[in-house]
Amino acid sequence: MSPVLRMAAKGRCFKNVSFETSAFSPTQIPESDIPEIAFAGRSNVGKSSVLNRLFGTRKMVKVSSRPGFTKSLNFFTVDGRFRCVDLPGYGYAKVPPRERERWLRLTDAYLRGGRDIRAVVCLLDMRRHPDQLDAGLFSYLRELGVAAVAVINKADKVAQPRRKRAVEAITALLPPLRHPVFTISARTGEGFEELSYFLCSLVGSAG
Ligand SMILES: Nc1nc2c(ncn2[C@@H]2O[C@H](COP(=O)(O)OP(=O)(O)O)[C@@H](O)[C@H]2O)c(=O)[nH]1
Ligand SMILES: [Mg+2]
């Protein structure tokens, strides 16, 4: 078994994470040479918290009480073997249209850049039904031929007996997906073992 697969089997591939760079414009996006997993979702869905939890860090990714804070693509390298890419959050009403357009152009340049993107983790909130913007993300990824992984965060906010129904209701509103839907809480850490195991397997299958 290769070292990468061995780590994937343990779900422990998110080791030695370091911040690499931020891209505020398409020309600042670093060259693609290793596999990548990107993370997307509505502002405030907990994207930064999820990344920190995956990385086993508290402050690698800024957690903001101000939604719409992330204005760049942020690149993190994991063990020099693959990257995690933090995409700008969407859906924050107070962002001026020009700024929103800039983020879309940036995200589009990234996703269409011919890179080895193994998946885009699409974060959802267990308390909300996916809306048009969420649906738009899934259909956009499908159009580009990039695999989407639906991950439902903030499970701790829903009482245990209601979770199954909540997950079913959300899943029913998503298009058919190649990968399983994950349920997590960045607050309690629940579901992260399964999620990191799965994500590690996506990058561990590198040739
Ligand atoms: N209860 C709960 N709160 C969360 C969870 N994940 C994130 N949050 C909170 O949601 C807010 C937004 O989180 P952040 O990670 O900055 O979201 P981002 O805008 O998507 O990057 C912060 O107050 C977090 O503490 C979760 O799983 N459960
Ligand atoms: Mg954030």
CATH 3.40.50.300 corresponds to the domain 3-204: yes
Q: SS3 for 120?
A: strand
Structure tokens at 159: 């009482």
Pocket test for ligand 1, best of 43, 44, 92, 190 (most atoms within 8 A of CB): 44
- The pLDDT value recorded for residue 2 is 60
CA distance 43 to 17: 23
What's at 115, amino acid-wise?
R
Question: Does 48 contact ligand 1 (Cβ within 6 A)?
Answer: yes
Using a CB cutoff of 5 Å, list residues around ligand 2, an ion: 47-48, 70
What is the model's pLDDT at position 207?
37
How far is 182 from 149, CA to CA, in rounded Å? 8
Residue 97: how many other CB atoms lie within 10 Å: 7
pLDDT at 64: 63
Query: How many Cα atoms occupy the beta-carbon half-sphere of 197 within 13 Å?
Result: 8
pLDDT in tens, the chain (207 residues): 566 555 555 557 888 899 999 999 999 999 988 999 999 999 999 999 999 999 998 788 877 655 555 589 999 999 999 999 999 999 987 888 888 898 899 999 999 999 999 999 999 999 999 999 999 999 999 999 999 999 999 999 999 999 999 999 999 999 999 999 999 999 999 999 999 999 999 998 443
DSSP H helices, the chain, are: 3-10, 47-55, 97-111, 132-144, 160-172, 192-204
pLDDT, position 140: 96
Ligand nearest to the CA of 188: 1
Ligand 1 within 6 A of CB of 49:
yes
Question: For residue 107, what are the contacts with CB-CB under 8 A and spacing of at least 6?
Answer: 40, 73, 87, 88
**How many of the other CB atoms lie within 10 Å of CB of 41?**
24
What pLDDT is recorded for position 15? Answer: 85
What distance in Å separates the CA atoms of residue 97 and residue 160, rounded to the nearest whole number?
Answer: 39
CA–centroid distance, residue 82 to ligand 1 (Å): 25
